[in-house]
């Protein structure tokens, strides 16, 4: 499976055939994939507003999707970007080795990301299965915990303890979070059932940590089981760095199969936003055929990063960029990490109501570090004649590497190894070290697991690394709500529906994966971009087609539950 296939359009409330698991909710079960696929399009703006400039701040996936759809509707998006198109879809090449890229940000995408994959399909990008631990695309997996190493091709090859942990996790989700009921409702796109179950769980679990939820489960009464689960986890590996976060964040992932059966984008995920930036639209409203985002910008480049954002009369937004340029807009969409509004950009307090500022300030970001090295060939596929095992495997460990991924680039090409992929406290340990110093630590750890493998002699290029918490315009990898943060997230996500806001706060829209419920997954960036598109169109006097209502049109029916604040 390489992408989701759109189905026929439907009337609101009409019974639909069951589908695979998708990121349909649970907080806001709107069918973004159907909205995108509908022949009526995403709406229209009044003819008098066509060509109106709209600022789009941030050239990551959310910003580029926002700009692309606004352009198709006949508006003129003006994109601001401090670095390069892509944001955390950053595909870094190795000098002297064209065609091989290290995915420094997003590198694996669940097929349940159906809105995202509509763009992947439109761009003609090819996908391959990502080699997660014990996945069918992974020749073998090694689990190395407490100095004991286990080689496996399937879960059944591991000691019984690991099967016990996997079963305990499934039982905990079924008994404590009604997993099977919610997933069936998502497949059926049964909004009533999704909301009935999820709204109740939000009230029950908003104050509960991931670890607290596990510890309260009879299936996880053994600390040893909780420890192993934290280090090995499910889907992509250990999740103990998420233990302090809200359990609601974890349920959003498992309900929507976001942590299973991942695909990677052949040639790099940055091709998605770059491709949309360059894509010539055959029949855009207002613009000539063949117009692209690049062609609407002088020199085919976005404007520099934003340094100041403030409101000016009458109901306008004025943007100052790093080059000193000042431009004023009737509407703007902010898609960069929201913490930039607190520290990197000079802002008027009048941009948002105080409760929204509080929500931005309370946003909690996860740190993340990756380290990649390029090797002469995928030597890990060699089989040791003595043991019948691969020379090296996808590796989960409690050592400093935590997760090591082996990425085959194809016949006759170098091999790529993600030596280490770490989160939160594990990521912070690497901040003072250079890429080369980090590689030395990782090679030492892997030498303990594979004493007969001289990995160093295969390395053919300098390593590349990133720690997202130290990136000036990111300050973290993605949002991860802490217990009690649901109310804050609701304010940010629902900001696109501005009818109830005082007029002086309208016209600036938030988007990006830290505004979404499903942070860390590109689908969240796409969904909030589409929310912002609806918001801009509505703000400028436009509307959705009656046969294809947008997220704001159905908001009252689908709105996230509102928890009491008194």
pLDDT of 78-134, one tens digit each? Answer: 999 999 999 999 999 998 998 899 999 999 999 999 999 999 999 999 999 999 999
Output the pLDDT for position 7. 28
Q: How many other CB atoms are there within 10 angstroms of residue 430's CB atom?
A: 23
What are the Cα distances from residue 94, in Å, to 185, 273, 423?
A: 45, 20, 24
């019974």: which residue's tokens?
15
pLDDT exceeds cutoff 80 at 11: no
pLDDT exceeds cutoff 50 at 15: no
What would the mean pLDDT of 364-380 be, rounded to a whole number?
Answer: 96
- 375: tokens are 């090797």
Crossing angle, helix 114-122 and helix 271-278, to 10 degrees?
A: 60
What would the mean pLDDT of 63-79 be, rounded to a whole number?
Answer: 98
232-259 pLDDT, tens digit per residue, is 875 667 789 999 999 999 999 999 999 8
Q: Considering only CA atoms, which of 419, 94, 131 is closest in space to residue 264?
A: 131
Q: Domains of the chain (ranges plus CATH)?
A: 52-88+266-363+481-558 (3.50.50.60), 158-261 (1.10.405.40), 368-475 (3.90.660.10)
* Phi, then psi, of 246 in degrees rounded to 5: -65, 140
pLDDT exceeds cutoff 60 at 2: no
């909690």: which residue's tokens?
364
Output the pLDDT for position 18. 57
The CA R_g of the chain, rounded to the nearest whole Å, is: 24
* Phi, then psi, of 268 in degrees rounded to 5: 115, 140
Output the pLDDT for position 9. 35
Query: Cα separation of 380 and 373, whole Å?
Result: 14
401-432 pLDDT, tens digit per residue, is 999 999 999 888 999 999 999 999 999 999 99
Query: Cα separation of 252 and 462, whole Å?
Result: 38
């Amino acid at each position: 499976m390489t992408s989701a296939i759109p189905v026929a359009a439907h009337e609101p409330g009409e019974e639909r055939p069951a589908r695979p698991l998708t990121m349909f909710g649970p907080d806001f079960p709107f069918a973004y994939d159907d909205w995108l696929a509908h022949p009526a399009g995403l709406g229209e703006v009044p003819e008098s507003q066509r060509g109106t400039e709209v600022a789009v701040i941030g050239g990551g996936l959310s910003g580029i999707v926002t700009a692309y759809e606004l352009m198709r509707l006949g508006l003129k998006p003006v994109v601001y970007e401090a670095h390069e198109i892509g944001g955390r879809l950053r595909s870094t090449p190795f000098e002297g080795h064209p065609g091989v890229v290290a995915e420094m940000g997003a590198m694996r995408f669940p097929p349940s990301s159906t809105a995202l994959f509509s763009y992947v399909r439109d761009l003609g990008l090819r996908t391959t299965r990502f080699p997660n631990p014990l996945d069918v695309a992974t020749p073998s997996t090694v689990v190395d915990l407490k100095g004991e190493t286990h080689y496996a091709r399937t879960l059944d090859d591991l000691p019984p303890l690991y099967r016990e942990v996997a079963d305990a996790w499934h039982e905990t989700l079924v008994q404590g979070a009604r997993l099977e009921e919610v997933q069936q409702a998502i497949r059926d796109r049964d909004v009533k059932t999704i909301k009935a179950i999820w709204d109740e769980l939000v009230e029950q679990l908003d104050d509960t940590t991931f670890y607290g939820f596990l510890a309260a489960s009879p299936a996880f009464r053994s600390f040893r089981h909780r420890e192993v689960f934290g280090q090995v986890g499910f889907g992509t590996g250990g999740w103990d760095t998420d233990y302090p976060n809200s359990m609601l964040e974890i349920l959003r992932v498992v309900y929507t199969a976001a942590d299973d059966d991942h695909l990677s984008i052949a040639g790099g995920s940055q091709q998605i936003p770059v491709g949309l930036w360059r894509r010539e639209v055959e029949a855009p409203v207002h613009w000539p055929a063949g117009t692209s985002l690049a062609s609407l910008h002088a020199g085919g480049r976005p404007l520099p990063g934003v340094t100041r954002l403030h409101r000016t009369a009458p109901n306008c937004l004025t943007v100052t960029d790093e080059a000193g340029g000042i431009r004023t807009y009737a509407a703007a969409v902010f898609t960069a990490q929201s913490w930039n509004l607190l520290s990197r950009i000079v802002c008027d307090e009048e941009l948002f109501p105080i409760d929204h500022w509080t929500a931005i300030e309370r946003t909690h970001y996860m740190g993340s570090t990756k380290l990649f090295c390029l090797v002469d060939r995928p030597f890990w596929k060699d089989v040791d004649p003595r043991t019948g095992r691969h020379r090296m495997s996808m590796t989960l460990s409690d050592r400093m590497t935590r997760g090591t991924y082996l990425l085959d680039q194809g016949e006759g090409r170098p091999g790529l190894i993600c030596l280490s992929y770490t989160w939160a406290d594990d990521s912070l340990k690497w901040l003072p070290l250079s890429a080369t110093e980090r590689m030395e630590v990782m090679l030492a750890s892997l030498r303990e697991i594979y004493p007969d493998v001289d990995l160093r002699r295969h390395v053919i290029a300098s390593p590349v690394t990133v720690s997202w918490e130290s990136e000036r315009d990111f300050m973290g990898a993605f949002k991860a709500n802490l217990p009690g943060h649901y109310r804050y997230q609701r304010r940010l996500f629902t900001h696109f529906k501005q009818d109830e806001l005082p007029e002086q706060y309208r016209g600036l829209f938030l988007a990006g994966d830290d505004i979404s419920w499903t942070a860390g997954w590109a689908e969240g960036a796409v969904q909030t971009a589409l929310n912002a598109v609806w918001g801009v169109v509505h703000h400028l006097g436009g509307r959705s087609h009656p046969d294809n209502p947008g997220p704001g049109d159905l908001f009252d029916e689908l709105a996230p539950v509102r928890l009491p604040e008194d």
